[in-house]
Structure 1
């Protein structure tokens, strides 16, 4: 009975050590995550192997695993930048990004877990300053928002391609101008719209006037052609035809009096 405690203490110590070792060796990677393995006695960060994927893993207890989120993530930035004429513009933009999965070890070794602040934020800010500086406030306010969005994306992507980060999209959500500049632009756009509307009315009126002139000319030409075709012989024949129709009417009493060699008969009388 006296020997049992002496034997039990080392066993308990060994069990505790095994439990601690197992706890240090067991690593669970969650959904949408990946782990970078750090070998304490084997060269440090593992960069020549794929990262540890989702699920349960056993590693040597003296090694370590750094877990990264590998889903697409969003960075929202409010940036104050200068336009081409030196006016301060506020840009609200979002960047969708994710670490390059197979380069996760390189990312950890070169940039670390705060890679967002180290490379992504500076990259998008630099690209926004460069792009917005090419445009005037009028262009930014009206027609160039899609263009600056595409250009910011292109320039940011170039910077991040060598930083083990994948940029998926840049969205410019809002462009805010100083109120005085915004009001001046809106007044200018309104005046331009009114000017275009006035020009449209002038063009429409000119076309209507041209249409009336063409129609009148057509009628005049038709009457001139008709007059030229009505000879005395045709008119005499038409008159004779009309006289015959009147004479054939049962309700008329007809007296025909000649009016000359080529004259038409004269119809007199009624019931």
Structure 2
């Protein structure tokens, strides 16, 4: 076997080193992510420049990049707290959040990759316990879910101020009470609903009775007016008008003028 020229080994070594350096110098950042550059030979984490965006980036081989997802993410939390009267309440909540892109370097330097456990979770748990403590179990179960969502969101936002985390929404999926308390509240709500239905039926009955009274009074007044207006002369005039109309009819009949009561005509022979 022919010996390799002396120049061959150094060249191969150089090529290998170059490949290694190139491999370490090329960084790929995927969709929905951004990278924080760390320079160990300079000032460490780069905080005065924008984070590295999606795509290929060439960096010095002695530097490194930490990649963060910068899309909206969801955190599911089961939080136990005490109501205003000291009863155990558990809520299931979803939190929509993302790291602040323009402050990604500060987030990495001050909070690290576990910023959710170090910042977001303590904030949401503290806010939820504070808000739940303002309400009774009945309020939490029946009528205040939207209110506690809004208040937890506002309280969490206050705690996250200056923490480089953006909170988009807090959704309370479920409020769980002790079984005995839940059953008692449901019974009370059912009884209140029945009372409202009964009151509604009474109101409808009273309205119908009032309508009938007004209708009867109207008819009575109309009859009084009609009785007062029907004098003998008017009745005779109406009778004469009816006789004239009947006389015009083609039906066979006999009209006896002036032979009826009060001199009214008598009509005979209607086929």
With structure 2 as the length reference, what TM-score do the two structures score? 0.86
The residue number in structure 1 matching 2:230 is 230
Q: By how many angstroms is 1:11 displaced?
A: 2.9
- Counterpart Cα distance in 2 of 1:147 and 1:19: 60
**Following the alignment from structure 2 to structure 1, what is the Cα–Cα distance between the partners of residues 262 and 2?**
163
Contact conserved, 2:29 with 2:67, CA < 8 A, in 1?
yes
Quick check: 2:240–2:264 contact (8 Å CA) kept in 1? no
Tell me, which stretches of 5 or more residues in structure 1 are unaligned?
none
Three-state SS of the structure 1 residue aligned to 2:175 is: strand
Distance 1:241 1:95, change over 3 A: closer
Return 5+ residue gaps in structure 2 as ranges: none
Question: Hey, what does 1:58 align to over in structure 2?
Answer: 58
Change (3 A) 1:256 1:12: closer
Q: In structure 2, do the counterparts of structure 1 residues 41 and 228 end up closer, same or farther at CA, with 3 Å as the change threshold? A: same
The total of aligned residue pairs comes to 267
Tell me which residue corresponds to 2:134. 134
Q: Is the 8 A contact 1:254 1:269 kept in 2?
A: yes
Q: 1:66/1:221 Cα in 2 relative to 1: closer, same or farther (>3 Å)?
A: same
CA distance in 2, matches of 1:132, 1:26: 50
Report Cα offsets for 1:96-133 as digits up to 9, x if no partner: 11111121110000000000100001111111111111
After superposition, what is the alpha-carbon deviation per residue over 1:18-62, rounded to whole angstroms, capped at 9, x for unaligned? Answer: 222222222111222111111111111100001111111221121
Using the size of structure 1 for normalisation, the TM-score is 0.86
1:250 positional shift:
7.3
- Write the distance in 2 (CA, Å) between the matches of 1:267 and 1:205: 51
SS of residue paired to 2:262: coil
